[in-house]
Amino acid sequence: MGKNKFENLDKLKILPNTGGNGQKIYIETYGCQMNVVDSEVVAAIMTDNGFSISENLEDANIILVNTCSIRENAEQKVRQRLNDYKKYKKKDKGILIGVIGCMAERLKQKLLEEEKLVDMVIGPDAYRDLPKLVEEAGSGQQAINVLLSREETYADINPVRLGKNNVTAFVSIMRGCDQMCSYCVVPFTRGRERSRDPYTIIREVNDLIAKGYKEVTLLGQNVNSYIWENKENNRKISFASLLEMVAKTSPDLRVRYSTSHPKDMTDDVLHTMAKYDNICKNIHLPVQSGNNRVLENMRRGYTREWYMDRIRAIKKILPGCGLSSDFITGFCDETEEEHKDTLSLMKWAGFDFAFMFKYSERPNTYAERKLKDNIPDETKSRRLTKIIELQNKLSLESNKKDIGKTFEVLVEGVSRKSDERLFGRNSQNKVVVFDRGNIEIGDYVNVKITECTSATLKGIVV
């Protein structure tokens, strides 16, 4: 993900003002939706402490790069960017450069001392310390805080929202992850799971509704494991209960969520989705592999058969629900037959869309310590190509089935290919493009689908 732009909105009191004196901060975000939310949290903390957020690099006194460690190529992109900023800093030694997020936690001293790429290193649970760390870095001290927390959820912070359309927003409902998949670095960079107070979530959603937003996406590394307990009245709120609470805030608010873990996808969530029209009928359910031995090596906690049962339940309880997934090819010891098991599962499920990657070994994970990354890169690439080709075919087949149907679409922006066309998404999370006419961004419109590609539906407003 490239540059992020922020709009200053009304915010809750976060910390006493430490005197940012209007210094301008430029924030660049890479990685997942959780990183986007984190950048919004950082922007809120800093503006409340007297700093301002700049959309232009040239105007900034402070550069913050929000980083991702999920794959090696993601880290390499960030390193290249930091090297660019290091050269940029030589022209103006007063500029401060900071790394925040997952790479900050993982690389710590290396970024500060060995490579001297940055002035500040701030982990995902230390954003409240940023004003103080900026002050320390400005006086020439080493500024670092990468301590992980078992409590921090930033529940009291009303994020400064990204984007210009004021239509869709992300709302973080939990932080961290307890899954410990053998290939994944997230538990080490983001810490243990902790769920946010549901009433602060509802307050944030109501604030978004008041500001005119039409859609929220509830975010977590594994939203299905959300659980909040009020020990005073011994009440527990599950993800299904939270989903219902959010849906009830307004019938005109679309509700989405991401990401689900197959082992925690329960029928009560599906029945809640079926009960409320404003909960979008789309589920992203990462499977990673279609082979049981590979899934066991990945420590995913489910089998191929369990996953297929969850897909059957989705199709039974939510007919017409959009389905997407994640795939990792070339994991340790994966054979050609095991790769074919993934292809066969894809064909059986008929996914509308997927994120597809070659396995990338990450430091300190179980796979890095106990398994061998022994699949040649050319084999990984060949298998990935097969997966991509199949998914493109499945996506086209799925979209062709929608020709002639009419969908309610929330208009999100102007088409990249033509200013005379707009785009939005239907409930199934498919992108729909149509002529602009007198329609405004943020409107709901009914669009009849007339043609498609593997990536996009095209139609006319009816």
| Alpha carbons 197 and 229: distance in angstroms, whole number | 9
> Side chain identity at 428, as an amino acid letter?
Q
Q: Are 262 and 307 in contact (CB under 8 A)?
A: yes
Give strand pairing partners of 28: 3, 65
pLDDT tens track for 175-202:
999 999 999 999 999 999 999 999 999 9
Least confident of 81-95, 239-253, 282-296, 396-410: 81-95
* Residue 338: φ, ψ to 5°: -70, -35
Q: Helix/strand/coil (H, E, C) string of 20-58?
A: CCCCEEEEEECCCHHHHHHHHHHHHHHHHCCCEECCCHH
- Evaluate if residue 430 carries a pLDDT over 90: yes
- Evaluate if residue 277 carries a pLDDT over 90: yes
Q: Are 176 and 187 in contact (CB under 8 A)?
A: yes
Give the side-chain half-sphere CA count within 13 A for 309.
11
- Look at residue 95 and tell me if it is in a domain: yes
H/E element, 413: strand 406-414
Q: What is the pLDDT of residue 142?
A: 84
Indicate which CATH number applies to the domain containing 96: 3.40.50.12160
Q: Which domain holds residue 451?
A: 406-461
> Side chain identity at 89, as an amino acid letter?
K
| Alpha carbons 259 and 256: distance in angstroms, whole number | 10
- Look at residue 16 and tell me if it is in a domain: no
Q: Are 142 and 112 in contact (CB under 8 A)?
A: yes
| Angle CA 161–163–165, to nearest 5 | 105
Q: What is the pLDDT of residue 333?
A: 98
Please state at what angle helix 336-349 crosses helix 304-317, rounded to 10 degrees.
10
| Alpha carbons 186 and 189: distance in angstroms, whole number | 5
Q: What is the pLDDT of residue 20?
A: 65
Domain's final residue, options 124, 145, 166: 145
- Look at residue 64 and tell me if it is in a domain: yes
Residue whose C-alpha is closest to residue 66's, from 16, 2, 136: 2
- Look at residue 420 and tell me if it is in a domain: yes
Indicate which CATH number applies to the domain containing 455: 2.40.50.140
- Look at residue 168 and tell me if it is in a domain: no
Domain's final residue, options 145, 179, 196: 145
DSSP 287-350: -B-S-HHHHHHHT-S--HHHHHHHHHHHHHHSTT-EEEEEEEES-TT--HHHHHHHHHHHHHHT
Q: How confident is the model at residue 392 (pLDDT cuts 50, 70, 90)?
A: very high
Distances (CA, A) of 163 to 7, 55, 171: 7, 11, 14
Q: How confident is the model at residue 3 (pLDDT cuts 50, 70, 90)?
A: very low
Q: Tell me, what DSSP letter sits at residue 278?
A: T
Total number of domains in the chain: 2
| Alpha carbons 347 and 305: distance in angstroms, whole number | 15
pLDDT tens track for 165-176:
799 999 999 999
Q: Are 218 and 173 in contact (CB under 8 A)?
A: yes
- Evaluate if residue 147 carries a pLDDT over 60: yes
Q: Tell me, what DSSP letter sits at residue 6?
A: B
**Token pair listed for 369:** 């310590």
Does a cis peptide bond (omega within 30 degrees of 0) precede residue 456? no
Give the side-chain half-sphere CA count within 13 A for 142.
12
Q: Which long-range contacts (CB under 8 A, 24 or more apart) does 303-308 make?
A: 304/341, 304/345, 306/262, 306/263, 307/262, 307/345, 308/345, 308/348, 308/349
Average pLDDT, the chain: 92
Span 301-311, average pLDDT: 98
pLDDT tens track for 8-67:
222 222 333 345 677 999 999 998 899 999 999 999 999 999 999 998 888 899 999 998
Q: Which long-range contacts (CB under 8 A, 24 or more apart) does 89-93 make?
A: none
**What is the pTM assigned to this prediction?**
0.91
Residues 295/72/185/70 CA torsion (nearest 10 deg)? -80
Distance of CA 392 to the CA centre of its chain: 22
- Look at residue 60 and tell me if it is in a domain: yes
Say what percent of the chain tops pLDDT 90.
Answer: 80
Q: What is the pLDDT of residue 2?
A: 37
Residue whose C-alpha is closest to residue 162's, from 71, 33, 343: 33
Least confident of 67-81, 104-118, 258-272, 392-406: 104-118
Q: How confident is the model at residue 116 (pLDDT cuts 50, 70, 90)?
A: confident
- Look at residue 134 and tell me if it is in a domain: yes
Say what percent of the chain tops pLDDT 70.
Answer: 95
- Evaluate if residue 340 carries a pLDDT over 90: yes
Q: What is the pLDDT of residue 309?
A: 98
- Look at residue 248 and tell me if it is in a domain: no
3-state SS class at 420: coil
> Side chain identity at 84, as an amino acid letter?
D
Q: What is the pLDDT of residue 31?
A: 87
Q: Are 351 and 302 in contact (CB under 8 A)?
A: no
Domain's final residue, options 145, 177, 193: 145
Q: What is the pLDDT of residue 22?
A: 75
